[in-house]
Every structure is written in C-alpha cells, then in structure tokens.
Amino acid sequence: MAARRAVSSLLSRCLYASPKILSPSLLPKGERAHGAAAGILQRFSTAVAIEDPVAPPVQVNYTKLLIDGKFVDSASGKTFPTVDPRTGEVIAHVAEGDAEDINRAVRAARKAFDEGPWPKMTAYERSRILLRFADLIDKHNDELAALETWDNGKPYEQAAKVEVPMFSRLMRYYAGWSDKIHGLIVPADGPHHVQVLHEPIGVAGQIIPWNFPLLMFAWKVGPALACGNTIVLKSAEQTPLTALYAAKLLHEAGLPEGVLNVVSGFGPTAGAALASHMDVDKVAFTGSTETGKIIQELAARSNLKPVTLELGGKSPFIIMDDANIDHAVELAHFALFFNQGQCCCAGSRTFVHEKVYDEFVEKSKARALKRVVGDPFKNGVEQGPQIDDEQFSKVLRYIRSGVDSGATLVTGGERAGSKGFYIQPTVFSDVKDNMVIAQEEIFGPVQSILKFKDLNEVIQRANATKYGLAAGVFTNNLNTANTLMRALRVGTVWINCFDVFDAAIPFGGYKMSGVGREKGIDSLKNYLQVKAVVTPLRNSAWL
C-alpha cells in the first residue's frame, strides 16, 4: 500500500504544453534518406496491442462558449471538431470563438469586476464557493476523467486516480488562500501612517494547453479567483471539453455570472485577440516558447499588460555512478514517458555516468519493451496515443532525425497499431549534444541517453540549453546532490524523485522556459496589484 501511495504521489504531479514549432532541420531530406531511415526503424519493435476502442463511459453535454454565465453559440456560428486521438474520429463539434467572442467575454468579465459581487464579496464567501466547487469535482470525478481521457488520450487510471483528485486538491488549496491575502502597515521616517494594499489586478486573460487540461485550469483559475479577479479563459483547441464541464460545475457551486468566461478557439484568432485586448489587465499562458514570445509581444504592443509564461523545457536527468541502477532506470523511464512524453518538464536528456552507461542502456531498453501501450480506457495501460496527427507526425520526424544523425536506435521508433496516434516507446543511445533530439523539445515517448565522465562536465552540458525548467538528480552522495542542486540553472530540481508537484510547491522556469511561477504562494503575486496609501499623522502617540 505504501508503495502504491508513493507511485501515486509521483504520478500526481507533472504538467503541460502546446504544439511546438518544428525545426527546419527535421524536414524530410528526400526519398532516399527517408527510405534508409525507415529500413533501420523496421529492425526494432515494441510489443503492443492496439485493440478496437472502448466506448467512453461519458456523454458530451457542453460544446458552446460560456459567456456571462450562459452557454452560447459563437458570434460567427462556426464550430470545429475535437478528435478522439485513439482513432482520429470526431468526438463532437465545439463552438469556435474568435475576436468578437473574446470581446463579448471581456465585456462580461469587466462588468463582473467593476459592478458585480465577486471582488466585493467577503474573502471567506469566495473561499466557500471554491470549496463547494472542489466537492463537485470529487462528485463528478469519473465523468471529468472520462472526458479528459477521451479528448486527450491519457490513461483513464491516471486521470481518475491522480489528476482529477489533484484538481480538487488545488482548488481547496486556493480556497484556503482566499481569506489570508492581506497587506502591511509600514513604518515611515516621519509622522505618516503607511498602508500597503494587495488588490485584485482586474480582468485576467488565461490560455491553457492540451496536455494537462484540468490541472492547468486549476493552476490558472484557482489563484485568480482566490485573489478576487474575473477571468476570460481560452482552452486548447485540441482539448476543449473538460474546461467547459469544469466551468459549469463552478457556476453550480455559486460563482456569479461573468466571473469566469470560457472561449474555445484557435491561437491566431481567439488567443491573439485575448493577449492584445486593451481591456484585459493581465495574461497568463502555458505552452510553447515560440508562442510565449508572441503572447508577450502582443501584450506589450497593446496596453503593456503583465504576462506570466510557463513554457518549454529540455530537462536533464543526471544519473551518477553511485546510483541504484534498477531504481534509476525506473525513475528515468517515468520522467520521460509519463503522459506519452507530453510534459514540458520531461526528463528528455538522460545523462548517465560512463561507468554504468552500458548497463543502464540495456535495462532501459528492457523497461521500454515492457511498457504497455494501448487504449487508455483499458486497465493496466501505461501509454495512450499522442494528442493528434500533427504531434504524432512531428515525433516520428524527430525519431527519423535521431537515426539520420547517427544515434543508436535501441528500441521502438515506429507507430504502434494501424489506427490512431500511438507511437512505440523509443530509446536512443549514443546521443550527442549537437543532435537535434538532444536540443529540441520532442514532446513524445522518445528517451535520449547521453554519456558523461565527471561532475563538472555534466553540469556544463546540462546547462548548455536555452531552457531552464527542471532537472532530475539521481545519486546517493549528499555532497554531489548539493553541488548539482545549486549549479543547475533551472526552476525545479528533483533529487532521487521526479515530477513531484504538490499544490504548495512553486513551478516555473529560468531562461526561455518562462516568466513567473505557478502554484504555491508565489502564484498569488501574479494576480495582485500593490498599492501604497500614505496618511499624515497629527499628535500620534507613537510612530
């Protein structure tokens, strides 16, 4: 039981993405190169069984935009399909919001902030609404999990036993903060009474990704509501269903109309309109670094609204020569393959000391071959399909790039099954730092194993990236752990663990992995303004 809780604790924490722009270096090099790569790939395989898809135990009831407390059609009347990644078939057609729908949603949010009850409500009452929402999440755990699996492709057991309970936990965490946000009385160098107020920032624009839709909903919506703000949230076009369902439950819990508005749509239309809107006071985005740059530019060119960004990563997972290899193999496997490899903080550069390298590679191959790939609704499945055809094709191009650049394809490398977006768990050895698969974020089930000689070398190589989101360290030497945790230029270092995402632990990146922090007390700062109020004192008894 203790072991099961430990695994659940690990699984309960990891997070996000949006499609990354493919490097020109991955474009096909011609039929001859493609054929050679394909020939190499055919020598490897992973035993998987992709069966006819299980019928999802849930119905889709909400497909319209949620604006001012009501489900409405888009202004244009357009819809777009959301697709089952197990088959490529359409699940439902969802209202396609664009700039006019963002305008409608922002007007509703502005009115709710300027005139509505939410920011004027006592903090305790706001917390009670968020707690009722958490209770409703628990009540509808199975429906939320089934929708998440159907729309995203992640294993149902992961969604139902880990992610939805974590969603509920996060909302309770932020409910607890609602009535604990307070200001300060500051002593001045003279007869003045000085107050420092922490006020809600206003209308928050939020754009969430497709890899962890419910958890990203909580990361964004939780702190914004706890601080008394109103919201316009744009869901990822690949996974719009659970945001609408969750928002319906939040209104059922007592959220006033206009406080949370959900617009489904595409980045260049709805997303750009939200980031550049002159009446939005703050923008928060989780997704690719390339898109993050665009969001920041749009915010600056409009009303210079503050921006928080949680972006991409190419996280090192460092295994020293004193490590328990069996344990290290399992943890490194989890760090990369969890959520089909679709994690911004995935341990996608596995650095292994040369003394244990060969043993580690062989055992990593054996573990990958045992990984169960199949319909995510089936019990015991560890890996479902990639999110869509675009991501599926991109991952396969990265695999071909690895083969073409001279890395050794140890196992995997092909699609799994004949339909849907499944990819075999893939392991590369003999990976070099200058290879594309060691530099760019693949966002798929592809493990790259690199060899190093000593501590100073691996520190330099681990930091030689534009990203700085997270890192893993596996060692039994406390001095080594302390050296690495200070030397690695990343926002999170996991020592002898990985993907631990408690609600109170801040998360964010250095360098081009983002700006600001999600979760914990630091996330509240994203949604608060600081105001100083100074009043003269006359005949004060004390200063």
Looking at the annotation, which residues are catalytic?
Answer: 310
- Residues paired with 84 in a beta bridge: 89
- Residue 234 near residue 283, CB atoms below 8 Å: no
Q: Are strands 446-452 and 470-474 parallel, antiparallel or unpaired?
A: unpaired
E strands, 266-305, are 282-286
Angle between helices 213-226 and 141-152 (to 10 degrees): 120
Q: What's the Cα-to-Cα distance from 520 to each of 114, 176, 495, 516, 526, rounded to whole Å?
A: 27, 11, 20, 12, 11
One-letter amino acid at 86 equals R
- Residue 56 near residue 377, CB atoms below 8 Å: yes
One-letter amino acid at 393 equals S
One-letter amino acid at 63 equals T
Per-residue burial over 390-426, b if 16 or more Cβ lie within 10 Å, else e, is: ebbebbbbbbbbbbbbebebbbbbbbbbeebbbbbbb
- Residue 341 near residue 441, CB atoms below 8 Å: no
Report residue 231: phi and psi, to 5°. -140, 145
- Residue 358 near residue 385, CB atoms below 8 Å: no
Q: What's the Cα-to-Cα distance from 418 to each of 58, 189, 196, 415, rounded to whole Å?
A: 25, 75, 62, 8
Cα 378 to its chain centre, rounded Å, is: 24
Cα 305 to its chain centre, rounded Å, is: 23
